[in-house]
Amino acid sequence: MTTLVNSPQQLTTQAYLFNTGQGFASQDYFGCHFVDATHVTFRVWAPQAKAVAVVGSFNDWQATPLTLDCSTGIWAGTLTTVQAGDLYKFQVTSQTGDVQLKIDPFAQEFERKPGDAAVVLAEQPMHWHDSLWLARRHKSKPQNRPINIYEVHLGSWRRHADDSYYTYAELADELIPYVKGLGYTHIELMPVMEHLLDASWGYQQLGYFAPTSRFGHHADFLKFVDRCHQANLGVIVDWVPGHFIRNYDALYQYDGTPTFEYADEDRANNRRWGAWNFDLGKTQVQSFLISSALYWLSTCHLDGLRVDAVSNMLYLDYDEGREGQVNQYGDNRNLEGIAFLQKLNTEVFAHHPDILMIAEESSSYPQVTGMVADGGLGFNYKWNMGWMHDTLDFFEMDPLYRCDHFNLLTFAFVYMFDEQFILPFSHDEVVHGKKSLMHKMPGDRYNQFANLRTMMTYMAAFPGKQLNFMGSEWGQYLEWRDWSQLEWVDLDDAMNAHMQQFTTALNTVYHAKRPLWELDHEAAGIKYTYTDDPASSTMVFIRQAKRKYSFVIAAFNFVPVERRQYRIGVPYPGTYELLLNTEDQTYGGTWTKLETTFTATDQPFHGQPASFEVTLPAMGALLIQPHKVKGESKK
- Write the pLDDT tens digit of every residue in 309-321: 999 999 999 988 8
**Residue ranges in 86-164 assigned as alpha helix (H):** 131-139, 154-157
Q: What average pLDDT score do residues 534-557 get?
A: 96
Equal CATH topology for 145-516 and 523-629: no
pLDDT for residue 10: 39
Confidence category of residue 631, pLDDT binned at 50, 70, 90: confident
Question: Residue 88, exposed/middle/buried by CB under 10 A (0-12, 13-18, 19+)?
Answer: buried
**pLDDT tens-place string over residues 113-148:** 999 999 999 988 899 999 999 999 999 899 999 999
Active site residue 418: no
Q: What gap in Å lies between CA 35 and CA 20, rounded to an integer?
A: 25
What value does the mean pLDDT take over residues 154-176?
Answer: 97
CB 601 within 8 A of CB 563: no
Does 8 score more than 60 pLDDT? no
pLDDT of 400 strictly over 90? yes
pLDDT of residue 315: 96
For residues 590-618, average pLDDT: 95
390, 460, 619 from 405: Cα distances, Å = 10, 22, 16
Distances (CA, A) of 567 to 112, 416, 540, 603, 613: 62, 26, 10, 10, 4
Catalytic residue among 194, 238, 279, 308: 308
Please tell me the predicted confidence (pLDDT) of residue 633: 58
Say which DSSP state 296 is in.
I
pLDDT at 398: 96
- Model pLDDT, residue 635: 46
Query: Exactly one of 116, 319, 336, 360 is catalytic; which is it?
Result: 360
pTM score of the predicted model: 0.95
Q: How large is the average pLDDT for residues 485-513? A: 98
Rounded CA separation 525/420 (Å): 13
ω into residue 114 within 30 of 0, thus cis? yes
Do 560 and 443 meet the contact criterion of CB atoms below 8 Å apart?
yes
Looking at the predicted structure, is the pLDDT value of residue 219 above 90? yes
pLDDT reported for residue 12: 75
Nearest to 582 by CA among 473, 468, 450: 450
CATH number for the domain formed by residue range(s) 4-119: 2.60.40.10
> E-assigned strands of 133-291?
148-152, 186-189, 193-194, 207-211, 234-239, 243-244, 269-270, 275-277
Class for domain 145-516, per CATH? Answer: alpha beta
Residue 3 has what pLDDT?
41
Per residue in 401-413, pLDDT (tens digit) is 999 999 999 999 9
The fold adopted by the segment(s) 523-629 is Immunoglobulin-like (2.60.40)
What's the chain's average pLDDT?
A: 95
Residue 360: active-site member: yes
Q: Where are the domains of the chain?
A: 4-119, 145-516, 523-629
Q: Where are the beta strands (DSSP E) in 506-619?
A: 526-533, 538-544, 551-557, 563-570, 574-581, 597-600, 610-616
**What CA–CA distances, in Å, run from 608 to 60, 452, 519, 598, 611?**
80, 30, 21, 16, 7
pLDDT of residue 630: 86
3-class SS of residue 374:
helix
